[in-house]
Amino acid sequence: MIIETLSVFPEVFEGYMSASIMGRAQRFGHLSFCAHDLRDWTHDRHRTVDDEPYGGGAGMLMKAPPIYEAVTSIAAAVPEVKPHVIFFTPTGAPFTQRTAERLAREERLLLVCGRYEGMDERAYALADERISIGDFVLTGGELAAMVVADAVCRLIPGVLGDDMSSKDESFSGGEGGGLLEYAQYTRPAVFEGAAVPEVLLSGDHARVAAWRRRDALERTCRWRPDLIESAELTEEECALARQLVERYREGGA
Ligand code: SAM
């Protein structure tokens, strides 16, 4: 997969995108990453990318022409693969694991990051979609782009080494069924008086799987009951979930 970003601070991607799993994904050829500098598509001495908003108001807005020129020229640089273009804005659709799963099936992503007070509305005509990473306001879209690049990259087959390891994680539409992940433990078996559940030491894979499924269901009912409606549950699990949600709502432990 190709992931490219367009922003006025391309240098901020360097450390994060070359470390750990994303660095390895690039070294092994699963991911090609490039951070473009929007100022490369300006034509004045000061390499201006912003201007005052029409109608007044605080702050500056990113101008549409450099963004338009940059996106069209980046797209044309690899003409055989049209990029899926994402603009980051707090007004976009909320980013979820489902979005990451869908984007991981794209061949090429172009992530366009805003700064200042945002962008001239006409720039969004280039967007295949607008994404928000949450109901808060960041100073720029670079962190949002890294969040999306990270969440997508680890879903590319081969990136995590063991292809199964992203399938039963929290929110995952695979074996996790859209639930939160179950509790996990590593050595020591007893820490500060708290013992690892006996079943996890039993070596009985069927019992371990059943315990994990039940724990995932309990944790989701307790901490994220909003996820239960869209989770993939058996009839028996649905009935249990109803009881658990009710119990936790009433303040049960
Ligand atoms: N004035 C804008 C508003 O109220 O919606 C906020 C602009 S914000 C200061 C500057 C840039 O940061 C945005 O253009 C966007 O690219 C990025 N940004 C800020 N918060 C974001 C969020 N929650 N999700 C995605 N991008 C965000």
Q: List, for residues 146-160, the tens digit of each pLDDT value.
A: 999 999 999 999 999
186 pLDDT higher than 80: yes
**Cα–Cα–Cα angle for 237, 239, 241, rounded to 5 degrees:** 65
Q: Region 222-248: what's the mean pLDDT? A: 96
pLDDT digits (tens, 9 = 90+) for 28-67: 999 999 999 999 999 999 999 999 999 999 999 999 999 9
Mean pLDDT for the chain overall: 96
pLDDT at 172: 85
> Does ligand 1 come within 6 angstroms of the Cβ of 137?
yes
Q: Is the CB of 60 under 6 A from ligand 1?
A: no
Pair 152, 184: CB distance under 8 Å: no
Question: Mean pLDDT throughout 209-230?
Answer: 97
CA of 119 to the centre of ligand 1 (A): 9
CA distance 83 to 4: 9
Q: Whose CA is nearest to atom 24 of ligand 1?
A: 132
pLDDT value for 46: 98
Q: How many CB atoms lie within 10 A of CB 8?
A: 21
- Asked if 173 and 130 count as a contact pair (C-beta separation under 8 A), the reply is no
Q: What is the pLDDT of residue 138?
A: 98
Which amino acid does the sequence have at 216? Answer: A
Query: What pLDDT, on the 0 to 100 scale, is given for residue 164?
Result: 57
**Above 80 in pLDDT, residue 246?**
yes
pLDDT over 80 (residue 166): no
- The Cα–Cα gap between 237 and 214 comes to 9
At 49 the pLDDT is 98
Please check the confidence at residue 119 and state whether its pLDDT lies above 70: yes
| 161 Cβ below 6 A of ligand 1 | no
| 138 CA → ligand 1 middle, Å | 6
Residue 138 Cβ contacting ligand 1 at under 6 Å: yes
Structure tokens at 169: 């994680």
pLDDT on residue 174: 73
In this predicted structure, the answer to whether residue 176 has a pLDDT above a threshold of 90 is: no
- What is residue 222's predicted lDDT score, i.e. its pLDDT? 97
Mean pLDDT, range 210-231, rounded to an integer: 97
Mean pLDDT, rounded, for 88-94? 98
Token representation of residue 208:
């371990």
The pLDDT value given to residue 167: 73
The whole-number pLDDT of residue 163 equals: 55
139 lines ligand 1 (CB under 6 A): yes
Write down the pLDDT at residue 175. Answer: 75
